[in-house]
Chain A
Amino acid sequence: AAGVIQSPRHLIKEKRETATLKCYPIPRHDTVYWYQQGPGQDPQFLISFYEKMQSDKGSIPDRFSAQQFSDYHSELNMSSLELGDSALYFCASTLGPRGGPDTQYFGPGTRLTVL
């Protein structure tokens, strides 16, 4: 079965640079979530989109922005990168109404390293 696709899988950037992470949800899934997992930590929710509209926002820095496109893929844009942004960024997708029973399926993650 098709899974969530994230690209790139690895990304190395310098401080103050920008980065764009992409997420392609499972076909027919209309909801996308972004999570950040720092080294040795649990994943933390950043932001989510449902039907191309932002639906919830967590502890996402103002330097980050995201959107969901008409084909339901999503991009997380990160500017003025800091060392502390080094983390594994997961995208997850699900289908159905908000609060519905559908499970969130996670992509393999993008490992961002900021030097």
Chain B
Amino acid sequence: AQTVTQSQPEMSVQEAETVTLSCTYDTSESDYYLFWYKQPPSRQMILVIRQEAYKQQNATENRFSVNFQKAAKSFSLKISDSQLGDAAMYFCAYRSAANRDDKIIFGKGTRLHILP
């Protein structure tokens, strides 16, 4: 079974600085998708960024980028120029690309604090 591990329960970063959230996963599959979701205090689940495993190029979305290391099964999220609105719980997530298994498996989350 696939698992997602986020080893940092909480992190803090100064406003305007850069922070990296770590995520590792375990799977025997070769084709899958990886995601970072943001859950602010409103508890809405917001997609931040997504990576297809077959793509070597790291995904980027404005201030958010990932470092995808397929061999190491690592998928970290870098937030540049941190803003107060980035304060939230961040979940790393995995989804198989196999035909009949497409539920999302989440990590335990990393709570990110932004210090003004």
Interface residues of chain A, those whose CB is within 8 Å of chain B, are 33, 35, 37, 41-45, 48, 55-56, 58, 88, 90, 92, 94, 97-101, 103-106, 108-109, 111
Q: Are the CB atoms of A101 and B102 closer together than 8 Å? A: no
Q: Which of B47, B52, B101 contacts A105 (CB 8 A)?
A: B47
Closest residue of chain A to B47 (Cβ to Cβ) is A103
Determine if B98 and A99 form an interchain contact, defined as CB atoms under 8 angstroms apart: yes
> Which chain A residue shows the least CB distance to B6?
A42
Minimum CB–CB distance for A56 against chain B, Å:
6
Q: Assess whether B107 is in contact with A42, with CB atoms less than 8 Å apart.
A: yes
Which single member of B43, B44, B96, B108 contacts A42 (CB below 8 Å)? B108
Which residues of the partner chain B approach A104 to less than 8 Å between Cβ atoms? Answer: 95, 104
A55 vs B33: C-alpha distance when bound (angstroms): 19
Chain A residue with the shortest CB-CB distance to B105: A45
Q: Known pairs A88-B43, A92-B45, A99-B101. 16 more at Cβ < 8 A?
A: A33-B103, A37-B43, A43-B106, A45-B103, A45-B105, A48-B102, A56-B103, A97-B99, A98-B99, A101-B33, A101-B52, A101-B97, A103-B47, A108-B42, A108-B43, A109-B44
Q: Chain A residues near B105 (CB, 8 Å)?
A: 45
- Interface residue tally on B, bucketed by range: 20 to 34
In the assembled complex, B75 has its CB within 8 A of some CB on chain A: no
Take A42-B91, A42-B109, A109-B44 as given contacts and tell me if A99 and B97 are in contact as well, using a CB distance cutoff of 8 Å. yes
Contact flag A103-B106 (CB < 8 Å), given A108-B44, A109-B45: no
Question: From B92, which residue of chain A is reached at the shortest CB distance?
Answer: A42
User: Of the candidates B42, B91, B103, B109, which one forms a contact with A58 in the assembled complex, judged by CB atoms under 8 Å apart?
Assistant: B103
